Amino acid sequence: MEKRDLIYEGKAKKVYATDDPANLIVCYKDDATAFDGMKKGIICGKGAVNNRMSNYLMQKLSEKGIPTHFFEELNDRETLVRKVAIIPLEIIVRNISAGHFSSRYGVEEGIVFDTPVVEFSYKNDELHDPLLNDDHAVALKLASRKEIELIRSYALRINECLKEILSEAGITLVDFKLEFGKTDDGSLILADEISPDTCRFWDSMTGEKLDKDRFRRDLGNVEDAYLEMQRRLLGE
């Protein structure tokens, strides 16, 4: 597979074309941002951790029947993925109150919900990713009602799979963000990444935060948290 032009550079990843129009190469960076890019930094080694962890989890999900963009891990930071048109929705699943749920609704962090909360945001940095509901998403033609229903059911199944994998590693899955995309033939598949950048992971015994909140909130030991998550899930 030949790597060709850089076609997109996001806050945490670069995307390259390949000689196959159906595939792209994603390259994970060490750059970290928070608060719509207002806060910037570097988390050394993050790119490699996120690449490998995301690939591991996507392969596990695919074994459970969730279609994903994962194709082949090329090296520490680069992965061959199926090309999709990203649906500009951020799908957030929450099991425990934290982050924006707590600040928006004025509740403490750590309240365990009876059932998961699925939330949609419009992926648009200029507008600060506003929260929206199904009707808004359909009105804005971001996705059809049928697609939104499918996304919701995938998101809940993904939550169950991830919770199980993580609990075996002594990690509580607090919440996470997903993005889906559409292939040229119109099928909906999981895209983007599943990593400490996009999830909240708490140590099940101590409650210690092992995710990007350490960077967002200046908690220190940021690199260590990413490496600890890698060790727990990939054993190295």
Binding site for ligand TMP (CB under 6 A): 92, 98-101, 175-177, 198-200
DSSP line for 32-86: EEETTTTEEEE-TTHHHHHHHHHHHHHHHHHHTT--BSEEEE-SSSEEEEE--EE
The least distance separating ligand ASP from the CB of residue 214, rounded to whole angstroms, comes to 12
Give whichever of 60 and 216 is closer to ligand ASP, judged by the CB atom: 216
Q: Which of 100, 152, 216, 232 binds ligand ASP (CB under 6 A)?
A: 216
By a kind-dependent CB cut-off of 5 to 8 A, residue 175 interacts, out of ligand TMP, ligand ASP, none, with: ligand TMP
Nearest residue to ligand ASP, by Cβ distance, number only: 33
Give whichever of 36 and 160 is closer to ligand ASP, judged by the CB atom: 36
The terminus-to-terminus CA distance of the chain in angstroms comes to 28
Give whichever of 78 and 90 is closer to ligand ASP, judged by the CB atom: 90
Q: Does 11 bind ligand ASP (CB under 6 A)?
A: yes
Q: Are 54 and 175 in contact (CB under 8 A)?
A: no
The least distance separating ligand ASP from the CB of residue 217, rounded to whole angstroms, comes to 10
Q: Beta strand 3-9 with 13-18: parallel, antiparallel or unpaired?
A: antiparallel
Q: Does 152 bind ligand ASP (CB under 6 A)?
A: no
**Residue 191: C-alpha distances to residues 59, 66, 123, 178, 207 (Å):** 12, 11, 14, 8, 29
Residue type, 230: Q
Residues that bind ligand ASP (CB under 6 A): 11, 33-37, 212, 216
